[in-house]
Structure 1
Protein backbone atom coordinates (compact mmCIF):
# COMPACT_ATOMS: atom_id res chain seq x y z
CA UNK A 1 0.00 0.00 0.00
CA UNK A 2 1.51 3.31 -0.99
CA UNK A 3 1.81 6.26 1.33
CA UNK A 4 -0.45 8.38 -0.91
CA UNK A 5 -3.50 6.19 -0.20
CA UNK A 6 -3.35 6.89 3.54
CA UNK A 7 -2.86 10.64 3.30
CA UNK A 8 -5.86 12.98 3.41
CA UNK A 9 -6.49 14.80 0.15
CA UNK A 10 -7.54 18.45 -0.19
CA UNK A 11 -11.11 18.66 -1.49
CA UNK A 12 -10.89 21.81 -3.56
CA UNK A 13 -7.54 22.83 -5.02
CA UNK A 14 -8.54 26.46 -5.57
CA UNK A 15 -9.45 27.27 -1.97
CA UNK A 16 -6.60 29.08 -0.28
CA UNK A 17 -6.51 31.69 2.44
CA UNK A 18 -5.22 35.24 1.97
CA UNK A 19 -1.60 34.26 2.53
CA UNK A 20 -1.74 31.39 0.01
CA UNK A 21 -1.90 28.51 2.51
CA UNK A 22 -4.68 25.98 2.82
CA UNK A 23 -6.75 25.43 5.92
CA UNK A 24 -6.35 21.65 6.04
CA UNK A 25 -8.72 21.27 9.01
CA UNK A 26 -11.67 22.18 6.79
CA UNK A 27 -10.39 20.85 3.47
CA UNK A 28 -9.63 17.16 4.11
CA UNK A 29 -11.28 14.25 2.33
CA UNK A 30 -10.45 10.89 3.87
CA UNK A 31 -9.89 7.93 1.58
CA UNK A 32 -10.25 5.28 4.31
CA UNK A 33 -12.36 4.80 7.42
CA UNK A 34 -11.44 6.90 10.44
CA UNK A 35 -12.74 7.63 13.93
CA UNK A 36 -13.50 11.07 15.28
CA UNK A 37 -15.93 13.94 15.43
CA UNK A 38 -14.06 15.92 12.77
CA UNK A 39 -16.23 14.93 9.83
CA UNK A 40 -18.27 16.74 7.23
CA UNK A 41 -21.65 15.08 6.86
CA UNK A 42 -24.03 16.15 4.07
CA UNK A 43 -23.51 19.90 4.53
CA UNK A 44 -20.37 22.05 4.67
CA UNK A 45 -19.59 22.92 8.27
CA UNK A 46 -21.80 20.23 9.81
CA UNK A 47 -21.13 18.96 12.50
CA UNK A 48 -18.39 21.65 12.60
CA UNK A 49 -15.90 19.76 14.82
CA UNK A 50 -18.35 19.91 17.74
CA UNK A 51 -19.04 16.75 19.77
CA UNK A 52 -22.73 17.47 20.55
CA UNK A 53 -23.41 18.21 16.87
CA UNK A 54 -21.54 15.03 15.89
CA UNK A 55 -23.74 13.01 18.25
CA UNK A 56 -26.79 14.71 16.75
CA UNK A 57 -25.58 13.79 13.27
CA UNK A 58 -25.18 10.14 14.35
CA UNK A 59 -28.78 10.16 15.56
CA UNK A 60 -29.90 11.89 12.33
CA UNK A 61 -28.21 9.28 10.12
CA UNK A 62 -29.69 6.51 12.30
CA UNK A 63 -33.19 7.97 11.77
CA UNK A 64 -32.62 8.41 8.02
CA UNK A 65 -31.60 4.74 7.74
CA UNK A 66 -34.53 3.58 9.86
CA UNK A 67 -36.99 5.62 7.78
CA UNK A 68 -35.51 4.20 4.57
CA UNK A 69 -36.20 0.66 5.77
CA UNK A 70 -39.69 1.43 7.08
CA UNK A 71 -40.65 3.11 3.80
CA UNK A 72 -39.37 0.11 1.82
CA UNK A 73 -42.60 -1.77 2.63
CA UNK A 74 -45.42 -0.54 0.41
CA UNK A 75 -48.92 -0.99 1.77
CA UNK A 76 -51.58 -2.39 -0.52
CA UNK A 77 -53.33 0.37 -2.47
CA UNK A 78 -56.45 -1.62 -3.21
CA UNK A 79 -58.43 -0.14 -0.32
CA UNK A 80 -62.07 0.68 -0.80
CA UNK A 81 -62.65 4.00 -2.51
CA UNK A 82 -59.08 4.39 -3.78
CA UNK A 83 -58.59 4.71 -7.50
CA UNK A 84 -55.64 2.94 -9.15
CA UNK A 85 -54.20 6.29 -10.26
CA UNK A 86 -54.33 7.76 -6.74
CA UNK A 87 -52.76 4.59 -5.37
CA UNK A 88 -50.01 4.70 -7.97
CA UNK A 89 -49.28 8.37 -7.28
CA UNK A 90 -49.13 7.66 -3.56
CA UNK A 91 -46.74 4.76 -4.03
CA UNK A 92 -44.57 6.80 -6.40
CA UNK A 93 -44.42 9.63 -3.85
CA UNK A 94 -43.39 7.27 -1.05
CA UNK A 95 -40.80 5.71 -3.37
CA UNK A 96 -39.35 9.15 -4.20
CA UNK A 97 -39.02 10.02 -0.51
CA UNK A 98 -37.43 6.63 0.24
CA UNK A 99 -34.89 7.00 -2.55
CA UNK A 100 -34.03 10.55 -1.46
CA UNK A 101 -33.45 9.32 2.10
CA UNK A 102 -31.37 6.39 0.84
CA UNK A 103 -29.14 8.74 -1.16
CA UNK A 104 -28.70 10.98 1.89
CA UNK A 105 -27.61 7.95 3.93
CA UNK A 106 -25.22 6.92 1.15
CA UNK A 107 -23.67 10.39 1.01
CA UNK A 108 -23.32 10.41 4.80
CA UNK A 109 -21.51 7.08 4.77
CA UNK A 110 -19.21 8.43 2.06
CA UNK A 111 -17.68 10.67 4.73
CA UNK A 112 -15.76 7.48 5.71
CA UNK A 113 -16.44 8.17 9.38
CA UNK A 114 -16.85 4.88 11.28
CA UNK A 115 -19.40 6.35 13.69
CA UNK A 116 -21.61 7.47 10.80
CA UNK A 117 -21.20 4.09 9.11
CA UNK A 118 -22.21 2.23 12.27
CA UNK A 119 -25.20 4.57 12.84
CA UNK A 120 -26.40 3.89 9.26
CA UNK A 121 -26.04 0.11 9.63
CA UNK A 122 -27.78 0.21 13.04
CA UNK A 123 -30.65 2.26 11.61
CA UNK A 124 -31.15 -0.13 8.71
CA UNK A 125 -31.02 -3.07 11.12
CA UNK A 126 -33.56 -1.64 13.57
CA UNK A 127 -35.85 -0.64 10.68
CA UNK A 128 -35.67 -4.15 9.23
CA UNK A 129 -36.39 -5.63 12.67
CA UNK A 130 -39.46 -3.40 13.14
CA UNK A 131 -40.82 -4.40 9.73
CA UNK A 132 -40.35 -8.11 10.42
CA UNK A 133 -41.99 -7.80 13.86
CA UNK A 134 -44.98 -6.05 12.30
CA UNK A 135 -45.26 -8.73 9.60
CA UNK A 136 -45.06 -11.52 12.19
CA UNK A 137 -47.77 -9.84 14.30
CA UNK A 138 -50.01 -9.46 11.24
CA UNK A 139 -49.51 -13.13 10.31
CA UNK A 140 -50.28 -14.24 13.86
CA UNK A 141 -53.42 -12.08 13.90
CA UNK A 142 -54.56 -13.56 10.59
CA UNK A 143 -53.93 -17.11 11.81
CA UNK A 144 -55.52 -16.83 15.25
CA UNK A 145 -58.10 -14.09 14.76
CA UNK A 146 -56.94 -11.85 17.59
CA UNK A 147 -54.28 -9.18 18.00
CA UNK A 148 -51.22 -10.35 20.00
CA UNK A 149 -50.09 -8.23 22.96
CA UNK A 150 -46.71 -6.70 22.17
Structure 2
Protein backbone atom coordinates (compact mmCIF):
# COMPACT_ATOMS: atom_id res chain seq x y z
CA UNK A 1 0.00 0.00 0.00
CA UNK A 2 1.24 3.46 -0.85
CA UNK A 3 1.97 5.88 1.98
CA UNK A 4 -0.40 8.82 2.26
CA UNK A 5 1.56 10.67 4.97
CA UNK A 6 5.22 11.60 5.21
CA UNK A 7 7.44 8.84 6.49
CA UNK A 8 11.15 8.43 7.09
CA UNK A 9 12.84 5.30 5.89
CA UNK A 10 15.04 3.86 3.21
CA UNK A 11 12.31 1.78 1.59
CA UNK A 12 10.58 3.85 -1.06
CA UNK A 13 9.14 3.47 -4.53
CA UNK A 14 9.86 6.47 -6.75
CA UNK A 15 7.75 7.04 -9.89
CA UNK A 16 7.93 3.46 -11.23
CA UNK A 17 7.70 -0.03 -9.74
CA UNK A 18 11.25 -0.81 -10.81
CA UNK A 19 12.67 2.23 -8.96
CA UNK A 20 12.59 0.88 -5.43
CA UNK A 21 15.08 1.55 -2.70
CA UNK A 22 15.82 -1.23 -0.25
CA UNK A 23 19.34 -0.42 0.93
CA UNK A 24 21.20 2.65 2.08
CA UNK A 25 23.18 2.76 -1.15
CA UNK A 26 20.11 2.74 -3.39
CA UNK A 27 18.39 5.30 -1.15
CA UNK A 28 21.35 7.70 -1.19
CA UNK A 29 21.70 7.33 -4.97
CA UNK A 30 17.98 8.11 -5.28
CA UNK A 31 18.37 11.23 -3.15
CA UNK A 32 21.32 12.36 -5.28
CA UNK A 33 19.30 11.75 -8.46
CA UNK A 34 16.38 13.79 -7.09
CA UNK A 35 18.74 16.60 -6.13
CA UNK A 36 20.43 16.63 -9.55
CA UNK A 37 17.14 16.55 -11.49
CA UNK A 38 15.79 19.39 -9.35
CA UNK A 39 18.86 21.54 -9.99
CA UNK A 40 18.70 20.62 -13.69
CA UNK A 41 15.10 21.83 -13.73
CA UNK A 42 16.28 25.28 -12.62
CA UNK A 43 19.06 25.24 -15.22
CA UNK A 44 16.56 24.51 -18.00
CA UNK A 45 14.23 27.19 -16.67
CA UNK A 46 17.09 29.69 -16.86
CA UNK A 47 17.85 28.68 -20.47
CA UNK A 48 14.17 28.96 -21.38
CA UNK A 49 13.93 32.46 -19.90
CA UNK A 50 17.04 33.51 -21.81
CA UNK A 51 15.65 32.16 -25.09
CA UNK A 52 12.34 33.87 -24.39
CA UNK A 53 14.01 37.21 -23.73
CA UNK A 54 16.16 36.75 -26.84
CA UNK A 55 13.12 36.08 -29.01
CA UNK A 56 11.19 39.05 -27.62
CA UNK A 57 14.10 41.52 -27.61
CA UNK A 58 14.97 41.10 -31.27
CA UNK A 59 12.09 42.94 -32.81
CA UNK A 60 12.24 43.44 -36.54
CA UNK A 61 12.43 47.07 -37.59
CA UNK A 62 9.21 48.43 -39.02
CA UNK A 63 9.02 47.82 -42.76
CA UNK A 64 9.40 50.83 -45.03
CA UNK A 65 6.22 52.34 -46.40
CA UNK A 66 5.73 52.36 -50.11
CA UNK A 67 4.33 55.33 -52.00
CA UNK A 68 0.84 53.80 -51.96
CA UNK A 69 0.83 53.73 -48.14
CA UNK A 70 1.01 49.94 -47.93
CA UNK A 71 3.83 48.54 -45.85
CA UNK A 72 5.87 45.69 -47.28
CA UNK A 73 6.86 42.92 -46.74
CA UNK A 74 3.84 41.32 -45.15
CA UNK A 75 5.84 38.74 -43.16
CA UNK A 76 9.24 40.00 -41.95
CA UNK A 77 12.19 37.63 -41.97
CA UNK A 78 13.30 36.77 -38.47
CA UNK A 79 15.28 33.52 -38.51
CA UNK A 80 17.05 34.04 -35.19
CA UNK A 81 13.89 35.14 -33.46
CA UNK A 82 11.85 32.16 -34.63
CA UNK A 83 14.66 29.75 -33.73
CA UNK A 84 14.86 31.24 -30.24
CA UNK A 85 11.10 31.00 -29.89
CA UNK A 86 11.12 27.37 -31.03
CA UNK A 87 13.87 26.59 -28.52
CA UNK A 88 11.89 28.34 -25.81
CA UNK A 89 8.78 26.31 -26.63
CA UNK A 90 10.74 23.04 -26.69
CA UNK A 91 12.41 23.84 -23.37
CA UNK A 92 9.03 24.69 -21.86
CA UNK A 93 7.72 21.24 -22.76
CA UNK A 94 10.78 19.44 -21.41
CA UNK A 95 10.76 21.59 -18.29
CA UNK A 96 7.07 20.96 -17.67
CA UNK A 97 7.64 17.20 -17.95
CA UNK A 98 10.56 17.33 -15.51
CA UNK A 99 8.53 19.50 -13.14
CA UNK A 100 5.63 17.06 -13.09
CA UNK A 101 7.98 14.11 -12.57
CA UNK A 102 9.56 15.95 -9.62
CA UNK A 103 6.10 16.59 -8.21
CA UNK A 104 5.20 12.91 -8.54
CA UNK A 105 8.48 11.90 -6.91
CA UNK A 106 7.70 14.20 -3.99
CA UNK A 107 4.31 12.52 -3.76
CA UNK A 108 6.07 9.31 -2.76
CA UNK A 109 5.77 10.98 0.68
CA UNK A 110 9.27 9.94 1.65
CA UNK A 111 10.74 12.74 3.76
CA UNK A 112 14.25 12.35 2.38
CA UNK A 113 13.06 12.48 -1.23
CA UNK A 114 10.99 15.58 -0.50
CA UNK A 115 13.92 17.34 1.17
CA UNK A 116 16.30 16.35 -1.65
CA UNK A 117 13.92 17.86 -4.23
CA UNK A 118 13.41 21.10 -2.29
CA UNK A 119 17.13 21.50 -1.60
CA UNK A 120 17.91 20.72 -5.26
CA UNK A 121 15.43 23.35 -6.45
CA UNK A 122 16.88 25.87 -4.00
CA UNK A 123 20.49 25.13 -4.95
CA UNK A 124 19.64 25.22 -8.65
CA UNK A 125 17.93 28.58 -8.23
CA UNK A 126 20.92 29.94 -6.31
CA UNK A 127 23.40 28.76 -8.93
CA UNK A 128 21.52 29.31 -12.18
CA UNK A 129 18.77 31.86 -11.66
CA UNK A 130 19.57 34.19 -8.77
CA UNK A 131 21.56 36.58 -10.96
CA UNK A 132 19.01 37.05 -13.76
CA UNK A 133 17.96 40.37 -12.24
CA UNK A 134 14.27 39.55 -12.26
CA UNK A 135 14.23 39.15 -16.03
CA UNK A 136 10.92 37.36 -15.91
CA UNK A 137 9.26 37.61 -12.53
CA UNK A 138 6.20 35.72 -13.72
CA UNK A 139 8.30 32.56 -13.87
CA UNK A 140 9.67 32.96 -10.34
CA UNK A 141 7.18 30.40 -9.14
CA UNK A 142 8.42 27.97 -6.48
CA UNK A 143 6.23 25.21 -7.90
CA UNK A 144 8.28 23.23 -10.42
CA UNK A 145 5.20 22.11 -12.29
CA UNK A 146 3.80 25.59 -12.95
Task: Judge same fold: TM > 0.5, yes or no.
Answer: yes
Aligned to 1:57: 30
Whose RCO is larger (CA < 8 A, sep 6+)? 2
Aligned to 2:16: 43
Aligned to 2:108: 111
Deviations 1:54-90 (A, max 9, x none): 1111111111111112222211324988532211110
| Mapped contact 1:33–1:112 kept (Cα < 8 A) | yes
Aligned to 1:123: 120
| Mapped contact 1:46–1:53 kept (Cα < 8 A) | no
State how far apart, in whole Å, the 1-side matches of 2:129 and 2:2 are. 38
Which residues of structure 1 form unaligned runs of 5+?
A: 1-27, 137-150
Which residues of structure 2 form unaligned runs of 5+?
A: 59-77, 134-146
Inter-CA distance 82–68: structure 2 relative to 1 (3 Å threshold): same
SS of corresponding position for 2:20:
coil
Kindly tell me the number of residue pairs found equivalent between the two proteins: 109
What's the TM-score once normalised by structure 1's chain length? 0.65
